[in-house]
Amino acid sequence: MSGRLAGKVAVITGAASGMGRASALLFAKEGAKVVAADLANAGKTTDEIQKGGGQSFAVKVDVTRAQEVKAMVDSTVERYGRLDVLFCCAGRVSFGNVVTVSEEEWDNVMDTNLKSMFLCAKYAIPKMVERGVGSLINMSSVSGLVAGVDEAAYDASKAGIILLTKATALDFGPKGVRVNCICPSSTDTPYLRNYAKLTPDPKKFLDETANQNAALKRLIQPEEVAQMALYLASDESSAVTGTAMVIDAGYTAL
Ligand SMILES: NC(=O)c1ccc[n+]([C@@H]2O[C@H](COP(=O)([O-])OP(=O)(O)OC[C@H]3O[C@@H](n4cnc5c(N)ncnc54)[C@H](O)[C@@H]3O)[C@@H](O)[C@H]2O)c1
C-alpha cells in the first residue's frame, strides 16, 4: 500500500471516537497497518478501515492498567511484527477546582490522562528501540499550556503530559525514538457534543466554545487534528521531537 505511512504499524488509543478515530482512519488511508485500541467499540473503527481496503485489528484496553497496555503492545508486535507509531489519544475531561474535586476524581483523571502516557511509553519504547526507530505522540491540550476556570485536575494532567513528552524525547532521541505531543483547543468530537447536551442551551454553549478559538471563531474538526498526528507519525517530521504542537484556531493568540 502506498501513502505517507506506507509500511508502518501504528497503534492508536482512544480509537473508537473523536480524534483517535479520525486519526486511525487517516493513518490507514495513508498506508499504515492500524491497531485500534479503546475501552469498547474499537472494532467499529477497524471495520471501517477494512471496508476501505486497509489492514487493522481492534484491541480492548483500559490504558490505566499496566498489564492491558503491555498486552496491547505485545499483540501488535506478534501480529504485525513491529511497532513504528503509538498515538496515545485516549483521555477524559474533568471539571472542578481543588476544593470541589474529589480525591477519587483527581486520581482517575491523572490515571487516565497522564499515567496512561507513562504506561504506553514504558511498554512501547523498548519495541521501538529494538529497531532504532519510532514515533510516540501524546495527546495533550491547550489546557496544558493555559489554565481554565474549574478544570484543575484536567489542566494539571495535560500540563504533565507536555513535560513527560519532552523528558522522554531527551531520553530516547539518541536511540531513534521521537516523542511529541499535540495541544488542540475545542474540537468537535462526540465528547464535546454530549457535554453540550447537558448544558441549558446546547447551541449557545457550542457557539461560545467556538468563539473561544479566537482567530477562526469555529470549532476544530477531528480530521484537522488527525492531519497533525499524521505529520508527526510520518518521516516528514524526522527532525521534530520534544515539541508541544498547538492546533487551536487562535485560542492562545488572544
Ligand atoms: N475535544 C476537545 O475539545 C479536546 C481538546 C483538547 C484535547 N482533547 C483530548 O483529546 C483526546 C481525545 O478526545 P476526544 O474529544 O476525541 O474524546 P472522545 O470522548 O470522542 O474520545 C476519547 C476516547 O478515549 C477513550 N478512553 C477514555 N478512557 C479510556 C481508557 N481508560 N482506556 C482506553 N480508552 C479510553 C474513550 O472510550 C473514547 O473512545 C483526549 O485525550 C482529550 O482530553 C480533546
- Which CATH number goes with the domain that contains 139? 3.40.50.720
Task: Over range 123-152, report the average pLDDT.
Answer: 98
Task: Average the pLDDT over 200-228 and give the result.
Answer: 97
Atom of ligand 1 nearest to the CA of 194: 19
Q: In this structure, is residue 36 part of a structural domain?
A: yes
What is the whole-number distance in angstroms between the Cα of residue 7 and the centre of ligand 1?
27
Q: How far is the centre of ligand 1, averaged over its atoms, from the C-alpha of 239 (Å)? A: 28
In the predicted structure, residue 182 carries a pLDDT above the cut 90: yes
- What is the distance between the alpha carbons of residues 197 and 203, in angstroms, rounded to a whole number? 9
Query: pLDDT, tens digit, for every residue of 14-50?
Result: 999 999 999 999 999 999 999 999 999 999 999 999 9
**Residue 198, domain member (yes or no):** no
Q: What phi and psi values does residue 138 have, to the nearest 5 degrees? A: -105, 145
- Please state the domain count of the chain: 1
Nearest atom in ligand 1 to the alpha carbon of residue 91 is 41
Residue 201 lies in a domain: no
User: Is 38 within the bounds of a domain?
Assistant: yes
Q: Is residue 198's pLDDT more than 90?
A: no
Q: Is the CB–ligand 1 distance for residue 89 below 6 Å?
A: yes
pLDDT in tens, 142-163: 999 999 999 999 999 999 999 9
Q: What does pTM read for this prediction?
A: 0.98
Q: Which residue has the cell 483517535?
A: 20
Domain that holds residue 172: 9-187+221-253
User: Does residue 87 belong to any structural domain of this protein?
Assistant: yes
Answer yes or no: 191 catalytic.
no
Does the Cβ of 64 fall within 6 Å of ligand 1? yes
Pocket lining: 54 vs ligand 1, CB cutoff 6 Å: no
CB of residue 193 inside a 6 A radius of ligand 1? no
Region 104-125: mean pLDDT is 98
Domain presence at residue 206: no
* 56 lies in some domain: yes
pLDDT tier at 2 (50, 70, 90 boundaries)?
confident
> Would residue 54 count as lying in a domain?
yes
pLDDT at 1 over 80: no
